[in-house]
Amino acid sequence: MSITLDDILTSHRSGRAVVMGVLNVTPDSFSDGGAFLDPAAARSQAERMAAEGADVIDVGAESTRPGSGRVPASEQIARLREVLPAAVASGAIVSIDTTRADVARFALDAGARMVNDVSAGRDDPALLALAAERGAPVVLMHMLGEPKSMQADPQYDDVVAEVRAFLAGRMDAAVAAGVRRERILVDPGIGFGKRLEHNLALLAGVGELAALGVAVLVGPSRKRFIGELSGEPAPASRLPGTLAACLAARRRGATVFRVHDVGALRQALAVHDAIDRAAGG
Ligand code: HH2
């Protein structure tokens, strides 16, 4: 049975694992830049991820890799025009990964049903009002600074407490814009203005973010911290580390996992969760 938006939003209570497949319609994403700019390639990737068990497909048309520049809304929309209908046709719930209200509006009109905002409503405040008006669930992610400069010299006294306070504040801002609290998901923003020790503390401290009372999404997939821990320089070869990070976060209360490799995570979750059930967990 396919998943509903409510299943996703209540996953922190049910314990259901939700898999969000990444579809980057960009020339420059850090791990798959250029691979899915061609609409036919994007379409087959969406179909493949849905067949592999993606509950959600997160479509983005602007890279947020460290050092990246901005892509105008009109250019994002041009990249999305042919791809969104194919993602919607795959049967998965489509989420739009953007910080811009104009792009989100275009995507929602084309059948997307969730908004994933890595700026948590700070880049374009109209985005929160739009999510409120459409009743669309919204992911609020923590980022220190902006992609261009975020990895320059990130500093925290207590990264988990600071990220949690930030997310609590952005939840309040979203509610003030009319978003219902139960339609919010939060995300510590792995790799967004964080050094290795910050990423590890946040994945270990997911339980403290879950205490905010909404579902926690994590996006460790293929990221640099996995390369730092393993010595693997190629992002596309960081699948084992990605799976380990997702399962470790799952054990601590994360329920939504944003990954490039959907089938592999589904298999890992099937085994992990079966063992937990056998243990009476
Ligand atoms: N990470 C990326 C992009 N969007 N959204 C959420 N909510 N959480 C994340 O961790 C997250 C995200 C970066 O990964 P990717 O999309 O593969 O790369 P790029 O930004 O270079 O397109």
CA 37 to chain CA centroid, Å, is 19
232: left (phi over 0), alpha (psi -120 to 50) or beta: beta
pTM: 0.97
Q: Token match 């999305």: residue?
A: 80
pLDDT for 151: 79
**What's residue 184's pLDDT?**
98
CB 186 within 8 A of CB 140: yes
Other C-beta atoms within 10 Å of 109: how many?
10
Q: What's the pLDDT at 207?
A: 97
Tens digits of residue pLDDT in 218-252? 999 999 999 999 999 999 999 999 999 999 999 99
Whose alpha carbon is nearest atom 18 of ligand 1?
Answer: 29
Q: What's residue 1's pLDDT?
A: 58
CA 240, 69, 144, 184 torsion: positive or negative?
A: negative
Would you call 228 exposed, middle or buried from its count of C-beta atoms within 10 A (0-12, 13-18, 19+)? middle
Helix, strand, or coil here: 15? coil
Instruction: Write down the pLDDT at residue 281.
Output: 61
CA 64 to centroid of ligand 1, rounded, Å = 6
Residue 216: helix, strand or coil by DSSP?
strand
CA 132 – ligand 1 centroid, Å: 23
Strands 184-187 and 93-97 turn out to be unpaired
Backbone dihedral angles phi then psi of residue 174, each to the nearest 5 degrees: -65, -40
Ligand 1 atom nearest the C-alpha of 26 is: 22
Using the mean position of ligand 1's atoms as its centre, give its distance from the Cα of residue 148 in Å: 14
CB 185 within 8 A of CB 140: yes
Query: Is 30's C-beta closer than 6 angstroms to any atom of ligand 1?
Result: yes
Q: In whole angstroms, what is the distance from residue 45 CA to residue 116 CA?
A: 19
User: In which residue ranges of the chain is pLDDT below 70?
Assistant: 1, 281
Residue 94: what pLDDT? 98
Which letter does DSSP use for residue 123 in this model?
Answer: S
Catalytic machinery residues: 223, 258
- The crossing angle, in degrees rounded to 10, of helices 126-134 and 101-109 is 20
| 3-state DSSP assignment of residue 129 | helix
DSSP 26-80: -S--TTTTTTT-SHHHHHHHHHHHHHTT-SEEEEESS--STT-----HHHHHHHH
The response to whether residue 139 sits with its C-beta less than 6 Å from ligand 1 reads yes
Residues 107 and 178: their CA atoms lie apart, in Å, by: 20
Phi, psi for residue 104 in degrees, rounded to 5: -60, -40
> Residue 151, SS3?
coil
